[in-house]
Chains A and B, each alone.
Chain A
Amino acid sequence: MHLKYEAQIREPLVDGDKDYHQVSEDICRPIEVKPSRLWYIGFFISIALLLFGVWSIYDQVVYGVGQWNLNKTVGWGWDITNFVWWIGIGHAGTLISAILLLFRQGWRTGVNRAAEAMTIFAVICAGQFPIWHMGRVWLAFFIMPYPNSRGPVWVNFNSPLLWDVFAVSTYFTVSLLFWYTGLLPDLALIRDRAKTKFRKFFYGITSFGWTGSTKHWQRHEALSLVLAGLATPLVLSVHTIVSFDFATSVIPGWHTTIFPPYFVAGAIFSGFAMVQTLLLILRRVFNLQDYITLGHIEAMNKVIVLTGSIVGIAYLTELFIAFYSQNQYEAYAFFYTRANLFSPYGWAYYGMMTCNVLSPQIFWFRKMRRNIYVTFFMSIIVNIGMWFERFVIIATSIFRDYLPSSWSIYYSPSIFEIGFYVGTFGLFFTCFFLFSKYFPVIAIAEIKHVLKTSGQNYKEQVGGIELQKVEEFAGEYAH
């Protein structure tokens, strides 16, 4: 008996002959055995990248933001590009965990934990850029409104940059709470299975004394549902507000009303690509092919082709509106600097168009959506494309100001800007490697919840019963 029924023609969400205990065994195994050599290699490469980033930031803090190649018109360069890129990546995690929960998409259970972790680490990485760009980073607390002895002088609540502070910090907090409350039951499972003293101690503390009481589960379900309901408008608001950083200014190429939906779609697009990159590696390294099935990968590829096409339409709409407005500055931004292969940044625009709009169209084909190698390759391409998008928006709009006397020379990053960006990769992957070693990468309790309706072996049983019933029916009534 189960309270939910799922159609037999739907693909199973969990492959293989599993019962509850087998699910626990499969997902806890990476935590309970020594990490493989690949894990160590990956972890130390990440640490090395992270140290490169630390060195770049150290130099920047000691000598000032002048270490970056920013100049009089390009006041924002790689730093804001990378900020927007990382924040965008985070969006897929919340989409999977919150929006798909509200839409009752069963396949989210296999991927939500890792995707939410990715969200949290991506937001941490994103936050680094505006913080260190402040230059005098020890005064970073000035962005918080608090009564002070300088007037009191308050932050400007009418500024999109301050909205960003609130949006990103709220987003981080809510994502963290959502992720951790979901983790509690799984950490309790590891605690109860623990054989070593360290594991008993560590998972005993982190599982907060979770028992699995029915009343607690009832509250837990209510909490997840309301948090999902809150996180859904939140995630849309975050990238909307990030796009306001640009859209509320009067810079040609930024001053467009299409920015909020266009940014949100782009964020989900790049985020799903990053989820694919991580999960394809994860399922291989930890042998989780039964939980992250081709069906999951296909579902995510469908989201990629949808959001990629939305982004494509947004690009074309922008071009059309620039033409339709008959505004010379808009025309200059869109037709001279962007959609012109021979302008200084034309390569970036066409790189973006190829990576984001043309290449994901391959996912209209089912064979391609279910091909792991194509998916992995495309996930990298999409992330490169989305990085180009942010770079195009930022650099092409500001490297030539209204007055030719204010035109800047070609902006390219210094080694410190590159090092900072590379360093955030180090930070991201260091966090992700630690997460995959010490935390269950798949939401065990949620898999168990869908196991009896969507597990392969259970579906086959039910399918057998249904077939039998049809035959009985036919035997009685058919002539």
Chain B
Amino acid sequence: MAKKKFVVGSFKEESVLFPAVKAVRKAGYKIHDVFTPYAVHGLDHEMGLRETSIHTAGFIYGITGTATALGCISWILVQDWPLNIGGKPHFALPAWIPITFELTVLFSAVGMTMTFCYLCQLAPFVKKHHFVLRSTDDTFAMVIDAGKSNSQEIIAFLEAQGAVDVHEQFAETGWWFGTYNKEQQLYKDTTVDIA
């Protein structure tokens, strides 16, 4: 993906941000993303994002864990190496509940976290473009996908909505390997001027 054109506006207050999101969507501009320092509840609905399905993934991982535990233990203690413990049944389900429960939780938690990291592209040495550095501190940064439209128009629109420090940025939206102590970009700017 090559670099794309974005218009970035900063907000200092949630109370300004929410109406602005609504107005921007109504005006038909495409919000690329809003970067916030904390989880602003309701912003995802305001932006029209769909509900995440990570819970469903967690449930599937969980029942995988249950099945793994029950399957393995019953095969081991009934089929592979049955032990006679005081004539008690080999298939001793009540005694397996603790481990079954633990594996359910383990599979679900690990699976969900890995899914979360995969979906959000989070991993050590992953580097991304950060539109506004203070968006992890105290700024709500709204990034609008400018596409081929006139950025000046969007800038004026955002300023009218109460955004500050509105400007245009050319940025990559993907991720790449790198560290934050070095200036690295995913793609080198290879455009050459032809006379």
Question: Which residues of A does B touch, CB under 8 Å?
Answer: 1-4, 19-21, 24, 145, 151-154, 156-158, 160, 162-163, 166-167, 170, 173-174, 177-178, 181, 184-185, 188-189, 191-194, 197-198, 200-201, 203-206, 208-223, 226-227, 230-231, 233-234, 237, 241, 244, 445-446, 448-449, 452
Contact = CB atoms under 8 A, between A and B. Distances in A.
Given A156-B83, A204-B179, A219 B35 contact: no
B98 A244 contact: yes
Contacts of B108: 226, 230
Given A156-B83, A227-B112, A21 B180 contact: no
A220 B52 CA distance: 10
Contacts of A185: 37-38, 136
Contacts of A191: 136, 180
Interface residues of B, number: 68
B37 A20 contact: yes
B113 A170 contact: no
B138 interface: yes
B95 A170 contact: no
B35 to A, nearest CB: 4
Contacts of B123: 208-209
B14 interface: yes
Given A154-B76, A221-B41, A227-B113, 9 more contacts: A4-B41, A154-B80, A173-B106, A191-B136, A192-B135, A194-B180, A200-B180, A209-B123, A217-B38
Contacts, number: 207
A445 B137 CA distance: 9
Interface stretch (B125-133, B146-154, B158-166): B125-133
B101 A237 contact: yes
Nearest to A193: B137
Contact of A192 (B15, B49, B136): B136
Nearest to A204: B180
B77 interface: yes
B44 A218 contact: yes
A152 B75 CA distance: 13
6 contacts: A157-B95, A166-B103, A213-B33, A215-B52, A226-B54, A230-B105
